[in-house]
Amino acid sequence: MFEWLGGVLDAWLNIFLQPSPWGTVYLGLLFQGLAITFFVALVTWAIAFVLGSLIGIARTLPYKPLRFVTTAYVEIFRSVPLLVQLFLWFFVVPELLPQAWGTWIKNLESGSMLTAIIGLGCFTSVRIAEQVRAAILSISLGMKNASTALGMTRAQTYRYILLPMGYRIMLPPLTSEFLNNLKNTSTIFTIGVMDLMGRTSEMMEFTFKAYEPLFFATFCYLIINLLVVCAARFLEGMAAIPGFNAAR
Amino acid sequence: MFENFDFAVISANLGRFFLEGMGFTLRLTFFAGLAGFLLGTSLTLVRMASVPFVSRAIAVYINFIRSMPLVLLIFWFNFLLPGIWQEIIGSPYPITFNPLVLAFWTFTLFEAAYFAEIMRAGILSIPQGQAAAGRALGLTGLQVSLFVVLPQAFKNVLPVLLTQLIALFQDTTLVYIIGLKDFFRVIHIAAVRDGRQVELFIFAAVVYCIISYCSSLAVKKLQKPQQELWA
Amino acid sequence: MDTRMRPSALGFVAVFAALSAFAVPATAQDLTGTLKKVKDTGSISLGHRESSLPFSYYDDNQKVVGYAYELCDKLADAVQAELKMDKLERKLVAVTSANRIPLLTSGGIDLECGSTTNNLERQKEVSFTLTHYVTATRFVSKKANNYKSLDDLKGKTIVSTAGTSNIKLVTGLNTERNLGMTIIPAKDHADAFLMVETDRAAAFAMDDILIASLVAVSKTPDAYVISEEALSVEPYGSMLRKDDPAFKKVIDDAMLAMFKDGTIEKLYDKWFMNPIPPKNVTLNVPISAQFKKVIANPTDSGDPKDYAD
């Protein structure tokens, strides 16, 4: 039994430790891909968080034109599949820009990565905007009326009442959006970014082995998920206000 | 910026885009959605019945699928399903899957995990008293689940289920990576061959946008109107 | 799904009944591997390409055509004759450079009709029938940029098709010669070529015949130039599963027959010397010295040395 297991492990190590055409061993390439996945996931998350919060808040404000524009943004980016959005950013947008700009973008060394970050950032921002809006609207009107009664301005009401409560309510759904965003990074290899998925399919193509690279990627995504879920639990505990159940 | 647009490339291929491409997409969405819902609901019922070992295994399956990117699962199922099926039926040679069937199973097994969680939330939202009342009327456990709890849970989560179906409709574009000809892939082939990506990709986006937006408007009709913050 | 013939269930039953009534020499019991699969299921799955001009690609109506595809069709005829089947359904499965080998080994396809290089590395995973074309890795770029050799592309972005022997070769050369190129894998040849057309990549490294065909059907064929420098020799063969000698023998014999009776030259003439869809362009690529050698002495060798002039 152990001998058999040892043999299997040995065979696997040999596959991952064989040199690739890039000079490094395949395992090294996979880790490079993992680093790219992390990088893109974090940067897109930061963009999406800021953009999504602004849009989500804007959609709760009583300004008609602002609401119209932000609602249109949300509906459009929510209704087009991510893959199609990525292709639009990558293949279409540079052609529609003035030629000099288009050429500049196309000649950027990490053009694919930049496109992927913008595309995925916008895609996720819509989801966050919806969470922010839902969270703010779920806070009872009594709270908002109480703050108005205390003489708070609208800005103060957001700053001191609605947003602190809203983000606490949002923590669990935000965690799952973070994980969704991370999982969605796996589509950016279709526009040439060598993330974990890109390196995995590259290894499948170069070595003609399917299961071993897929197994490695599966293992990585699983571990990242566990880590994020644990971190989120910790954060929820830290952020909880005694007396208020953040999750309601 | 639209002066170089060639709309003929869209109109010339319209029949193929919709009959072949959209036909595939809609069939896949409908059948995988339906099967995923049925499988997901069954998984949830068994899971919530606390069958030793089985319930735990189902929970592990659901959490595993939900933590994996769809792209990775599409790769897995694409390579794994034919082999597994060969083992199951004991065939002496590898089995060839119809691409639609392969995609159907992939999305069914994937969506089942999501539908299962939605249905679980729906079932948990039904007050305990409902089940107790059912038992008091002399219904069996299965009868209580099927005729008392499930219909109410289904009604409560219907908007969420339909939203998930719209997500599935959009996710079907990912069959791109294994080369199946769904709506987007058919457009992609034409776009790349004629070098008309700008027109055709925008066209694809508009079509997806219209279908998804109209569907989600319809779903919204089912939901209660939201309160206004600044009346 | 692409199916050329879809026999009705009744037809199936009729074929089955007829076959079991007359115990033909090649009975199902004797068959193994792919032949048994074909016999049992009444169908053969042919893997085809989407933009490997003129070997295997979609015409205007997204129907599969091409030199290699037509060869495969004839090979399927040979299998049908060998198995004495009245009807053989040909299931067409689109494959890419990246998934063709896993699809073949996992049973997604039985025979691949494309533009697959036969090399020793791949022979560890799959088997090849006789070589039906010999090409070489070159790269295409815009004439205006004046890139002559791979060294001119130092630090530039270069595109190739994912899963090809060419991208592996270029990646290796990039490391070996320390060129610092960014190498982008594209889904298929047409996608890769479009990257050069839209100035996203400086060059596209691929088998020269595929490049030449893409240039010929492009919007501005005069704008491109194919490098003189050849980076490798690439003999093409149709792939079949490894360790299936009975099936390989049927396919090899059928190929050999086509070499002997001049079918190969006729098909070659049709696809390389005459107007072809989708734009009725004539490639005008006469039979090379290397391929002449193969026609004289058909081979399934995966060693580039065997194809030297």
What's the rounded mean pLDDT across residues C215-231? 93
Task: Set out the domains of chain B in order of their start, with CATH numbers.
Answer: 17-183 (1.10.3720.10)
Q: Are residues C206 and C243 in the same domain?
A: no
Q: Do C229 and C215 fall within a single domain?
A: yes
Reading the block at residue C66, the tokens are 């091409």
Q: Which of C62, C108, C219 is nearest residue B189 as measured by Cβ atoms?
A: C62
At A123-137, the pLDDT tens digits run 999 999 999 999 999
> What's the CATH number where C121 sits?
3.40.190.10
Q: Could you say which of C186, C202, C234 is where a domain stops?
A: C234
Nearest to C2 by CA among C84, C89, C66, C79: C89
C107 and C48 housed in the same domain: yes
pLDDT at residue number C2: 38
Is A247 within the bounds of a domain?
no
- The structure tokens listed for B183 are 């709506």
Give me the pLDDT at residue A247, please.
43
List pLDDT tens digits, range B128-183.
999 999 999 999 988 998 999 999 999 999 999 999 999 999 999 999 988 888 99
The count of domains in chain C is 2
Residue C28: what pLDDT?
A: 47
User: Between residues 87 and 116 of chain A, which touch chain C (CB distance below 8 Å)?
Assistant: 91, 94-95, 103, 106-107, 109, 111-112
Query: Of C234, C252, C270, which one is at a domain's C-terminal end?
Result: C234
Pair C225, C241 in one domain: no
In three state form, how does the secondary structure of C221-287 look?
HHHEEECCCCCEEEEECCEEECCCHHHHHHHHHHHHHHHHCCHHHHHHHHHHCCEECCCCEECCCCC
| pLDDT confidence tier of residue B31, bands split at 50, 70 and 90 | very high
Give rounded-to-5 percent helix, strand, coil for chain A.
85, 0, 15
- Asked whether the beta carbons of residue C96 and residue B16 sit closer than 8 angstroms, the reply is no
Beta bridge partners of C135: C234
Per-residue pLDDT tens digits for A157-212? 999 999 999 999 899 999 999 999 999 999 999 999 999 999 999 999 999 888 89
Neighboring chain B residues of C106 at a CB cutoff of 8 Å: 79, 82-83, 94
Contact A188, A120 (CB under 8 A): yes
- If one counts the domains in chain A, the total is 1
pLDDT at B206 over 60: yes
Q: How far apart are CA C91 and CA A20, in angstroms?
A: 35
Domain end call among C217, C234, C251: C234
- ipTM score of the complex? 0.92
Q: What are phi and psi of C180, to 5 degrees?
A: 60, 35
Indicate the pLDDT class of residue A4, thresholds 50, 70 and 90. Answer: confident
Write the CATH number for A210.
Answer: 1.10.3720.10
Domain extent at residue A117: 2-239
| C56 and C152 part of one domain | no
Domain that residue C217 falls in: 136-234
Q: Is residue A246 part of a domain?
A: no
- The answer to whether the CB atoms of C200 and A210 lie below 8 A apart is no
Contact between A21 and C172 under an 8 Å Cβ cutoff? The reply is: yes
Q: Residue A40's pLDDT is what?
A: 98
Return the structure tokens found at B85: 């099926």
Asked whether the beta carbons of A196 and A223 are under 8 A apart, the reply is no
pLDDT at C20: 42
Residue type, B40: G
For residue B2, the model assigns a pLDDT of 60
Residue C54: asked if its preceding bond is cis (omega within 30°), the reply is yes
Residue B114 in tokens: 């999501």
d(CA A194, CA B196): 26
Please classify residue C137 by burial: count the beta carbons closer than 10 Å to its beta carbon, then call 0-12 exposed, 13-18 middle and 19+ buried: buried
Overall average pLDDT of the A65-90 stretch: 96
Flag if A23 and C184 touch (Cβ within 8 Å).
Answer: no
Contact C97, C219 (CB under 8 A): no
Mean pLDDT for the stretch of residues C66-82: 96
Query: What's phi and psi for C3, nearest 5 deg?
Result: -135, 135
Shared domain check, C86 and C21: yes
Q: Is A245 within a domain?
A: no
* Same-domain check for residues C144 and C210: yes
Confidence at B231, pLDDT banded by 50, 70, 90? low
Distance from CA of C59 to the nearest CA of A (A): 24
Q: Say yes or no: C119 and C177 in one domain.
A: no
**C-beta separation of B53 from B129 below 8 A:** no
**Whether residues C186 and C251 fall in one domain:** no
- Same domain for C101 and C27: yes
Is A79 in Cβ contact with B212 (below 8 Å)?
A: yes
Is the domain of C214 the same as that of C260? no
- The C239-241 sheet, strands edge to edge: C2-3, C89-94, C43-48, C111-113, C239-241, C126-128
C155 and C272 inside one domain = no
